[in-house]
Structure 1
């Protein structure tokens, strides 16, 4: 991809989000892995509007996907260069079909490409990269749920079994039973908190993933329709 004042990652990010919907000026942190320790209280992830204007997506995941696609960028003109040419047609008094066709003419002028198959092939490769990343992420989510919530549930079971034994003992064990019951109340809150945090993180990932994939798939549909 040709160099410019704007980095390739920023360009890719601009393909899938509305620039005027961004509200933060400082860089967002990389998406945290589900198994990383987090503070008890965390602020909600900042959201932005996707390029199609159909959904709010998580900024950190949008930037994560942009970085992922940047690292996977294929040599030579491909889908992303065509996407950049297509974006340059925005604001022109052209129908969508004419925009796709004009962008194709501009793309071909880069040289070396004459068949639209390169757009489909490269877009499919990028979709494969995204799908592989999603699979790995969901695996981490499942692992985190099993480790965190599973351990807490096991602790609940163990404490309940202990309580049954303590009922057979005399009064000096009553204090221990009360302490365990207090801990059970704390665990219930921790289970709800951990489950909600991990599930929300997964949902934000899925919404962002779907928005990016839907945009590429929509482009492929239009490419197949308009660039025959």
Structure 2
């Protein structure tokens, strides 16, 4: 005789067809991480089936969490999930959907002694309430994660932008200083050329004038020695 599935496994089968399930069914007690970072014991994979809104994929990490949450919150006595298990057992009988629901209800009443359909809807709504409470807690964690992680990253982004702006301003200031120095370099180079020319010219003039004076004096000495020799 085949081993009966655990409640968690049966709950999982209501939402994901085992034939299309491509992930391990191991579950953990870890609360879903709003930062989408799996714990070391958690296998983070996705199931290739559409969710109720028809978009995206159902994340196995969250499926495991919801299954465990509902399993822990399973109400005493036959209720929505026991009925859904009965309904699922009739899926291979080629009955129309309404006939399947009616046949499952008849079988469910006979096994569980429940006679009011409201037991099903009431318990189903209770499970929705449990999931809603978990969603509120999760969304609160999301906001905290955004404030802590994303807020910190935004501050870092702002700091980097300010740093870049300051460095860009410094680059502009440095470039302006370089341009100013280049203008001065041009002027100084011109001044060097002009001053060198003036100095060289003065040197030449000095030497020429010097030579003129010295030659004049030497000439005078020769003439003195020549013309005043007899007077000595």
Q: Within 2, Cα distance between the matches of 1:82 and 1:66? A: 17
Q: Within 2, Cα distance between the matches of 1:37 and 1:97? A: 42
The match for 1:114 is 115
Q: Superposed, which structure 2 residues align to 1:123-138 within 5 Å?
A: 123-138=124-139
The match for 1:27 is 26
1:120-145 residue CA offsets vs partner (Å, 9 max, x unmatched): 11011001011111111111112212
Whether 1:48 aligns to 2:48 is: yes
Q: Within 1, Cα distance between the matches of 2:51 and 2:93? A: 17
The match for 2:89 is 88
Unaligned runs of 5+ in 1: 172-228
Q: Within 2, Cα distance between the matches of 1:68 and 1:115? A: 26
TM-score (norm 2): 0.61
Count of residue correspondences: 165
RMSD (Å), alpha carbons: 3.2
1:53-105 residue CA offsets vs partner (Å, 9 max, x unmatched): x5631112112111111111000010011101111110103111111111001
Larger Rg: 2
The match for 2:78 is 77
The structure-2 alpha-carbon separation of the partners of 1:164 and 1:21, relative to structure 1 and needing over 3 Å to count, comes to closer
The structure-2 alpha-carbon separation of the partners of 1:160 and 1:121, relative to structure 1 and needing over 3 Å to count, comes to same
The structure-2 alpha-carbon separation of the partners of 1:150 and 1:80, relative to structure 1 and needing over 3 Å to count, comes to same
The structure-2 alpha-carbon separation of the partners of 1:44 and 1:93, relative to structure 1 and needing over 3 Å to count, comes to closer
Contact 2:70 2:127 (8 Å CA) reproduced: yes
- The offset of 1:158, in angstroms, is 3.1
Q: Within 1, Cα distance between the matches of 2:59 and 2:102? A: 32
The structure-2 alpha-carbon separation of the partners of 1:106 and 1:50, relative to structure 1 and needing over 3 Å to count, comes to farther
Q: Within 2, Cα distance between the matches of 1:27 and 1:111? A: 30
The match for 1:14 is 13
Q: Within 1, Cα distance between the matches of 2:158 and 2:140? A: 26
Report the secondary structure of 2:58's partner residue. Answer: strand
Deviates more, 1:8-17 or 1:30-39: 30-39
Unaligned runs of 5+ in 2: 175-232
Q: Within 2, Cα distance between the matches of 1:99 and 1:66? A: 24
